[in-house]
A and B are shown apart, each in its own frame.
Chain A
Amino acid sequence: MKTGVPWKAITIMAVLNLTGFAALNAHAEGVKSLRGVQVDEPVFVEPIARPQNTRVNREFRQQPPLVPHKTEAYQVDLKVNQCLTCHDWANAGEKKAPTLSMTHYADREGRQLDQVAGTRWFCTQCHVPQVEAEPLVENEFTPSSKR
């Protein structure tokens, strides 16, 4: 049957539109804001915890020591490592900072270099500052250090 009006296409489109609309509507009702409250209501954020500024005992012998100072303003990228301005062996005395231990200068074959090894470049992979804050998840770790 050939008519001038493409009824089939129109029907399909109408059905699609209707279902699409219904789906959208359902979605709109079911949407949960990640923010938790309406947009015109203020959100109360947890206070930002201050970094701890005292040295911390290691909890197990091989532990990378925790950083006893702020780190966010120090640039550590492929170009520059500002931690080294204080901790590299050639600067640490003058800056009164602990000198990097030998392990930081050993490459993968164990050769001792004069520059920090590539494997130790990104300091904050291993060393992190601490803040006084409620732990987000329960921590069952038992330190091997005896107190």
Chain B
Amino acid sequence: MSNQGAIPNKDQGPGLIKRIWRFLRHPAATISAGALLLIGVVVGVAFWGSFNWSMEMTNTEEFCIGCHEMEANVYAEYTETAHYNNASGVRATCPDCHVPKEWVHKVVRKVQATRELYHKALGSIDSPAKFEEKRLELATNVWTAMKKTDSRECRNCHEFDSMDFVLQEGRASAAHSDAFKEGKTCIDCHQGIAHSLPANALEAYKEKVSAVYD
């Protein structure tokens, strides 16, 4: 009783700094496990979200043709093809054909694509002449990738199973029913559907793609 006035703050517990320190060392003592989990989820979602957001941002045509290397040649040619303008009004954009839809494959492709940044810095294809010189090599890379995945990106939109062969032009239905039986893939017969082909493209496809992976 006589001590009351001497130690007035005894019942108020530890000071602010001490409390923060204690919270940091033993958080669960002050916050329930549930709340902790919630914070974890929120932070996780934020990271995941921004990761996926950047994946989406880099999955647009505007992003791709932000580099003149992509815009001046391949994009210009593509705007003349059926995948840009057609009767049904369904457009296939660059990522539709070049970036996988499934998450794991997509991340792999994005990591591979960092090579493009490196070559952008090097200026590997920054003039029409340089691009023309390297084009066959780049095309072969794309063909090889498509051949290995059984033209996975084409099949996101086109599928033999959903084709009405009767409605197709005679040459198409004949080739497709054969292809279906022989296990051929779209890119085997449909090179150059979105861009112009470089010289010796047809020979290179036979030598470097069909001969190796068939």
Give the B-binding residues of A (Cβ under 8 A): 53, 69-70, 73, 75, 77-80, 82, 84-85, 95-97
Complex contact B81–A80 (CB within 8 A)? no
> What DSSP secondary structure best describes chain B's contact surface?
loop
Q: How far is the CA of A109 from the CA of B83 in the complex (A)?
A: 43
Chain A hits for B169, CB < 8 A = 53, 69-70
Chain B hits for A53, CB < 8 A = 169-170
- The verdict on B82 contacting chain A, using a C-beta distance below 8 Å, is yes
Q: How far is the CA of A69 from the CA of B175 in the complex (A)?
A: 14
- The verdict on B199 contacting chain A, using a C-beta distance below 8 Å, is yes
Chain B hits for A95, CB < 8 A = 175
Chain A hits for B196, CB < 8 A = 75, 77, 79-80
Complex contact A80–B202 (CB within 8 A)? yes
Q: Choose one: B170, B175, B198; the contact of A79 (CB below 8 Å).
A: B198
Pick 22 A–B contacts, CB within 8 A, sort by A: A53-B169, A53-B170, A69-B169, A69-B171, A73-B81, A73-B193, A75-B196, A77-B196, A78-B199, A79-B197, A79-B199, A80-B192, A80-B196, A80-B198, A80-B199, A82-B197, A82-B202, A84-B202, A85-B202, A96-B174, A96-B175, A97-B171
Q: How far is the CA of A84 from the CA of B206 in the complex (A)?
A: 14
Q: How far is the CA of A104 from the CA of B174 in the complex (A)?
A: 26
Q: How far is the CA of A82 from the CA of B196 in the complex (A)?
A: 11
Q: How far is the CA of A32 from the CA of B170 in the complex (A)?
A: 46
Chain B hits for A80, CB < 8 A = 192, 196-199, 201-202
Chain A hits for B192, CB < 8 A = 75, 80, 82
Residue of A nearest to B132 (CB): A79
Chain A hits for B198, CB < 8 A = 79-80
B 171-196 contacts with A by CB, 8 A: 171, 174-175, 192-193, 196
Q: How far is the CA of A95 from the CA of B171 in the complex (A)?
A: 9
Chain A hits for B199, CB < 8 A = 78-80
Q: How far is the CA of A53 from the CA of B171 in the complex (A)?
A: 9
Residue of B nearest to A97 (CB): B171
Residue of A nearest to B169 (CB): A53
Chain B hits for A77, CB < 8 A = 196
Q: Choose one: A69, A75, A97; the contact of B197 (CB below 8 Å).
A: A75
